[in-house]
Chains A and B, each alone.
Chain A
Amino acid sequence: MTTPALELVNVTKSFGNVTALNNVSLKVEPGTVTCVLGDNGAGKSTLIKVLAGVHKPSSGEFLVEGEHADFASPRDALHRGIATVFQDLATVALMSIWRNFFLGNEPKKWWKPLGIMDTKLAKEITKKELLAMGIDLRDTNQAIGTLSGGERQAVAIARAVHFGAKVLILDEPTSALGVRQSGIVLKYVLAARDRGVAVVFITHNPHHAFLVGDRFYLLNRGRMIGDYQRGKVELDELITAMAGGAELEQLTHEIQVIRK
């Protein structure tokens, strides 16, 4: 058994008298896609923020590669190889693709403290890395805002992978996208996994999760209510479990009565 890239043991996070996460445990293995499914208000955002280093757990243990982790900021998490791609906050629309790709990690030349960017190298690497992920963009000078939502997510994923992310946390990467665009992003999720990255895929869409996931965690009202392995679970099961089983039956019944 390999050491999990990330592990939460009985983590609780509360804000004042609101408990957003209650005794949550999960394991994220390298080279796999771990899906965290949950409806609105399930605690997904809080979970991401704990993993990304934005929030500290109120209690419980957060392990990175088997070692206790105590992050003060997202920068700390980034240094440990945990990269988070936030839904809408991943890229700066007005900036060019290559500037976005290297934002915060600019390649420097000559005397480093001067901070002179090696723009030529940056453009070359951007093009090469995007091509390696199967994204073919001819002009990396164009503003990233001119790309589609899926392509922008893809650039953000490629960037995280290039900068040696061991863990890639994706916050609802497909929620604002159409069917085709979602497909593109899911393809890059698998491309990242094939490069040995541990992907944490947070979504409320069980269809998308089922397509790429190796392991599925279900989050509901701050608690982990389910843990499934790929191959041992059917899509229907996931959907039902996610919607809270009995609740869905009740809802189906009510709707049927109305429609009759």
Chain B
Amino acid sequence: MTDTTTVTKDERISNVSFVTNIMRRPEFGALLGAIVIYVMFAVVDTTGQFTTLQGTAGWTDFASPIGIIAVFVALLMIAGEFDLSSGVMVGTSGLLLGILVSEFGWGIWPAIAFTLVFAAGIGLMNGLLVIKTGLPSFIVTLATFFVLKGANLAITKGFTGSVRVSNIDQGAGFEDARKIFATTFDLGGAQFQITVVWWIVVTILATWLLTKTTFGNWIFASGGDANAARNAGVPVRRTKVTLFVMTSVAAALVGIMLALRLNGMQAGQGVGQEFYYIIAAAVGGTLLTGGSGSAIGASIGAAIMGLAAIGIPFALWDQDWVSTFLGVILFSAVLVNSFISRKAKGARK
């Protein structure tokens, strides 16, 4: 028996240094990558704007709508599920809001409330279909994606005769709603989008949810080993369904923000964006097989996308290469992440 009265040091356990502890965090690789990319774009910047507040307002504007959704996509991925309908959901909710206001004459606030409830319903449907059929969420939400994509186009055309819904500003309460969802605020002379505040708040909330609450513990367990979790008494199904709802509502929130900002919505809005969220989550250290990851990581992943989207034109590079750049980043980030986590965990497993 080991002596338990005096806390003797176990000679088999080497000291874990502060650095190793930081390296163990799933978002470490993304943070490192973000810093490298930031410095790189700062160096090649031809406008002298990239590192200013103006430049910051630019890339955060691009990153924040992605970040708000990517954070919840990351939580869902940690729980072991995908939502490929999260991109098209942005379009669906914006269009729904627009049609309710411009075609049915609803006020903005009831239309927003209805849109959020509708999105929650779609999320609930996604979740229940995954749980009840036992089919992979990749397939179920891919189907939802295409169903919604078609419906967006057909229903929009049916109502407006075009592929765009507009005139949302005729709804009562439009200006008030914009103050919350689609305004800008001044910071040192630069105009920042209000979505940036939402992004930061959502990231903090999701991080707190994941690391400090019971529900967060269940998220990790559901994705890490659903059987073990169930044996320990974790409501795995409820956890997953709740996360599908949250992801869908986050997408609707972004759709509402966009619709109010643009005073309209294109029927094809959001399509293809779902991969941005998954890329942001994966770059941020979320394991594609579930069980590990972080909300901050997904936000850093979204920030990297913003940096690339603004940094590339600022460097006067051909903007057509943005996706290629993101592809390379995705691959290297996941490679580096898996390398770091293996190093940090030591040789075992």
**Residues in A lying within 8 Å of B, measured CB to CB:** 74-75, 78, 84, 86, 89-95, 99, 102-106, 108, 114-117, 119, 131, 134, 136, 138-139, 143, 145-146
Contact = CB atoms under 8 A, between A and B. Distances in A.
B221 to A, nearest CB: 5
Interface in B248-301: 287, 291-292
Nearest to A98: B217
Given A86-B231, A134-B4, A143-B345, A106 B214 contact: yes
6 contacts: A91-B228, A95-B221, A99-B221, A102-B217, A103-B228, A104-B229
Contacts of B346: 146
Given A106-B214, A134-B2, A138-B13, A84 B231 contact: yes
Ordered nearest first, which 4 A-B pairs have the shortest CB separation?
Answer: A104-B233, A104-B232, A92-B224, A115-B214
Nearest to A52: B231
B86 to A, nearest CB: 24
Report whether over half of chain A's contact residues are helix, strand or loop; otherwise say mixed.
Answer: loop
Contacts of A95: 217, 220-221, 224, 291
Contact of A117 (B2, B9, B214): B214
Contacts of B227: 89
Contacts of A102: 217
B10 A138 contact: yes
B292 A108 contact: no
B213 A99 contact: no
Contact of B217 (A89, A99, A114): A99
B212 interface: yes
Nearest to A90: B228
Interface in B286-318: 287, 291-292
A144 to B, nearest CB: 10
A117 B234 contact: no
Contact of A99 (B4, B220, B287): B220
A95 B232 CA distance: 13
Interface in B24-60: none
A136 B2 contact: yes
Contact of B215 (A74, A78, A115, A119): A115
B1 A134 contact: yes
B233 A117 contact: no
B348 interface: yes
Contacts of B4: 131, 134, 136
Contacts of B230: 74
B214 A108 contact: yes
A99 B215 CA distance: 12
Given A103-B229, A116-B212, A94 B220 contact: yes
Nearest to A132: B4
Nearest to A159: B232
A103 B212 contact: no
A152 B212 CA distance: 24
A88 B214 CA distance: 24
B90 to A, nearest CB: 29
B213 A114 contact: yes
B103 interface: no
A75 B236 CA distance: 13
B292 A94 contact: yes
Given A103-B217, A134-B2, A139-B16, A92 B212 contact: no
A119 B212 contact: yes
A7 B162 CA distance: 72
A105 B218 CA distance: 10
A247 B233 CA distance: 42
A94 B291 contact: yes
Contacts of A75: 233
A242 B224 CA distance: 38
B349 interface: yes
B345 A93 contact: no
Contacts of A99: 217, 220-221
Most buried by A among B10, B233, B291, B346: B233
A200 B130 CA distance: 37
A146 B2 CA distance: 20
A106 B349 contact: no
Contact of B225 (A74, A93, A117, A136): A93
A101 to B, nearest CB: 10
A23 to B, nearest CB: 28
Contacts of B13: 138-139
B212 A78 contact: no
A27 to B, nearest CB: 25
